[in-house]
Amino acid sequence: MKVVIIGAGLGGLSFGACAARDGHEVVLIDKNKEPGGVLTLARQDGFFFEQGPLELTDLKPEESVGGFLESLGIRLKTVRDDRGLATPDFALLPPAEYEGPDWRKKRLKELFPQDAAGIDEYYRFYDALMRLRFLGGQKQTLLTKLQMLLTFHKIKKYENMTCREFTERLFSDEKLRLVFNGILADFCADPEEVQCFTLPFVNTETAFDKRIPVEKNGKLYYPSFRYVAGGVQKIAEGLCEYILSHGGTFLPETVAEKVLIEEGKAVGVRLSDGREIAADAVVGCGSARDFFTETVGLEHLDDRYRKILQDFRPMEAVFMLHLGVDYDPSPYQKQSLCYYYGSYDLHAAVERLRSGEYHEGKDGYLIYFPDRHAPDFAPEGCHCVTIYTVCPDRLKQGSWAEKKEAYADQLIRLAEEHLPGLSQHIVTKKIVTAEDYRVLTHMKKSSFGGVVPVWKQLNPPHITPVKNLFFVGQQSENGGGVPIVIGGAREAYRKAGL
Ligand SMILES: Cc1cc2nc3c(=O)[nH]c(=O)nc-3n(C[C@H](O)[C@H](O)[C@H](O)COP(=O)(O)OP(=O)(O)OC[C@H]3O[C@@H](n4cnc5c(N)ncnc54)[C@H](O)[C@@H]3O)c2cc1C
């Protein structure tokens, strides 16, 4: 079968690799020069920067992403690391000398003694969900099913609670609530709209100290955060090479304008230069609304699919500032990545985002050192610093092009509180705004990462009402992210039954 894939981002590449593996002829179309979408690198003055995912889960060969890549013969070197978390009042950073897996729990009890009982309850809840995750990945015997049932029974009382309700029930102090809910704002999600069972998975304790074991009784039990040595673009390069080595084709700098549909069936793709490529199956990705409105045509969908397209909520954009510096900032921030939260009121922060008001870094941002895991990213004697934050796709007033320099200077000023001397050591500065991301991802409204993990929200399904037309990538998955996008594309391929 000939499978034409519109968009060689992670979703399209993963679907394409499955099809190529099974002997199908794969044609990848992408408007960019290189495959990878947001996995491609930004370059400037001899420096390289990642402009998409930074730290990933499930990269070990025993886990979903690592296992999939290994099955295709793609071997990545990965490095486990941890991330820091700081608020205006306290920081939760791994102690210099390892204090065991419970150090965060102990530190939180010291900081919030009045909430000690709630903290204990949170960690019981955390343990139960981690156990359920582990058991769910095991062979399903009567014993595992019984163990799952008993474990679920312990947390069943919380199953109808949102993150806001759950954390308000357990913790009286809003500063403590931020420790667990803060990451939701990164996904542009209000704690009010996310189910509380999500919390342990976005706050895995092993992410906050790389010395915490991920194994229990000799079995992989917890997820760990890892970086791809040499940068995340290696995942895209590996998948694309695999497709090409299996007879596939990559058409760079090519825009797919229309999916050709005859009698309710996808039969090919028309490119913006007028060429047509016949296909037995077509796969789309990127912005679901753009793809189905313009490239497919809403008239080919049914009411249910149209309603999902109208209702689902993609994440907002990011403002990313890449700096090449001629000093080593790492003594000031020990972790490769640290979140600096600025506001405890996440509801208001998310409202601001949605209304087009940019917080100018005041609600929070993160600082990342890309060359920690990719020393070649910086010339000799220099280092890379990436500072970024979520932002609205379009500003209420003015454009990103007009305001980006001033906004970048503001982020540098804020970051300098943690990295003294930063502004004096900048040798190059690359600002990436929502407008740049729209171009990179071929989206009319930039949305980083995926879909806001709103409880019970339906996302555009992989199987579309048009026969032999499939949809993959970040906007087909709740939450988005690398493991979910790869897993979703593999699932889409399986369901497509090519
Ligand atoms: C700043 C940022 C930080 C992130 N951090 C993390 C993280 O820490 N951990 C994690 O797991 N995930 C993270 N993610 C999410 C993850 O990177 C994405 O979910 C995933 O890479 C999206 O892949 P995709 O294939 O859906 O989309 P994309 O990467 O957007 O790829 C789509 C490609 O299709 C092309 N395209 C679309 N339509 C057409 C057309 N008509 N013609 C030609 N080409 C077309 C686009 O140009 C693009 O190249 C992050 C993402 C961003 C942007």
Nearest to 364 by CA among 78, 130, 87, 119: 87
What confidence score (pLDDT) does residue 365 get? 97
| Residue with CA nearest ligand 1 atom 45 | 7
CA distances (Å), origin 156, targets 106, 128, 159, 220, 454? 26, 10, 5, 25, 20
pLDDT of residue 110: 98
Taking residues 485-491, report their average pLDDT.
97
Tell me what the mean pLDDT of segment 40-48 comes to.
Answer: 97
Let me know: does 75 contact 81? Beta carbons within 8 Å.
Answer: no
- Minimum-distance ligand 1 atom for the alpha carbon of 55: 8
Q: What is the identity of the amino acid at 218?
A: G
* Mean pLDDT of the region 413-421: 97
Q: So what's the pLDDT on residue 479?
A: 79
Distance (Å) from CA 208 to ligand 1 centroid: 26
Residue-wise DSSP of 98-145: ---TTHHHHHHHHH-GGGHHHHHHHHHHHHHHHHHHHHHTS---HHHH
The CATH homologous superfamily to which domain 2-35+233-313+459-496 belongs is: FAD/NAD(P)-binding domain (3.50.50.60)
Q: Which residues line ligand 1 (CB under 6 A)?
A: 6-12, 29-32, 37-39, 52-56, 255-256, 285-286, 295, 318, 441-442, 448-450, 473-474, 480-482, 485
Q: How many CB atoms lie within 10 A of CB 160?
A: 10
pLDDT at 332: 97
Q: Does the pLDDT at position 204 exceed 90?
A: yes
Tell me what pLDDT residue 449 has: 84
pLDDT of 265 reads 98
- pLDDT over threshold 90, residue 477: no
As a whole number of angstroms, the distance between CA 80 and CA 418 comes to: 23
How many secondary structure helices (H) and strands (E) does the chain include? 15, 21
From 4, 315, 474, 475, give the residue whose CB has the most ligand 1 atoms within 8 Å, as the site to mutate: 474
DSSP 397: S
Judge contact between 17 and 23, C-beta under 8 A: no
* CA separation for the pair 249, 73 (Å, rounded): 19
Q: Please tell me what DSSP assigns to residue 451.
A: B
CA of 379 to the centre of ligand 1 (A): 27
Q: If you measure from the C-alpha of residue 444 to the centroid of ligand 1, how many angstroms do you get, rounded to a whole number?
A: 14
The number of angstroms, rounded, from the C-alpha of 257 to the middle of its chain's C-alpha atoms is 27
Closest protein CA for atom 5 of ligand 1: 53
The secondary structure element, H or E, covering residue 364 is strand 364-368
Percent of the chain with pLDDT over 90: 97
Mutate-to-test residue for ligand 1 from 295, 390, 441, 447, highest number of ligand atoms within 8 A of CB: 441
Contact status, residue 433 vs residue 288, Cβ threshold 8 Å: no
> Which residues make beta-bridge pairs with 318?
390
**What is the pLDDT, as a whole number, of residue 314?**
94
Q: Which residue has a Cα nearest atom 17 of ligand 1?
A: 53
**Residue nearest (by alpha carbon) to ligand 1 atom 49:** 37
What is residue 432's three-state secondary structure?
strand
| Long-range residue pairs from 309-314, CB within 8 A, at least 24 positions apart, any chain | 309/460, 311/457, 311/458, 312/288, 312/451, 312/457, 312/458, 312/459, 312/460, 312/475, 313/451, 313/452, 313/454, 313/457, 314/287, 314/288, 314/445, 314/447, 314/450, 314/451, 314/452, 314/475
Crossing angle of helices 400-416 and 434-441, in 10° steps, is 110
Write phi, then psi, for 457 (nearest 5 degrees). Answer: -75, 140
Which whole number is the average pLDDT over 204-222? 96
For ligand 1, atom 27: residue with the closest CA: 9
The string of DSSP letters for 17-86 reads: HHHHHTT-EEEEE-SSSSS-GGGSEEEETTEEEE-S--SBSS-STTSHHHHHHHHTT----EEE--EEEE
Poorest-pLDDT segment among 50-59, 359-368, 401-410: 50-59
Evaluate if residue 54 carries a pLDDT over 90. Answer: no
> Which ligand 1 atom lies nearest to the CA of residue 449?
15
Domain residue spans of the chain = 2-35+233-313+459-496, 102-223, 317-441
- Calculate how far, in angstroms, residue 140's C-alpha sits from the geometric centre of ligand 1: 34
The pLDDT score that the predictor gives to residue 396 is 92
* SS3 at position 352: helix
327 contacts: CB under 8 Å, gap ≥ 6: 383, 421, 425
pLDDT at 205 (0 to 100): 97
pLDDT digits 0-9 by tens, 112-149: 999 999 999 999 999 999 999 999 999 999 999 999 99
Are the beta carbons of 231 and 144 closer than 8 angstroms?
Answer: no
* Atom in ligand 1 nearest the alpha carbon of residue 11: 25
The confidence score (pLDDT) of residue 52 equals 94
Rounded to an integer, the average pLDDT of 283-299 is: 97
Protein residue whose Cα sits closest to atom 39 of ligand 1: 7
Q: How far apart are CA 264 and CA 300, in angstroms?
A: 7
Mean pLDDT of the chain: 96
Mutate to test the pocket of ligand 1, among 285, 368, 430, 439 (most ligand atoms within 8 A of CB): 285
Choosing from 273, 442, 471, 476 the residue with most ligand 1 atoms within 8 A of its CB, the one to mutate for a pocket test is 442
Residue from 482, 484, 486, 493 to probe ligand 1 pocket by mutation (most atoms less than 8 Å from CB): 482
Instruction: Report the pLDDT value the prediction gives residue 478, as an integer from 0 to 100.
Output: 80
Residue 97 has pLDDT above 90, yes or no: yes
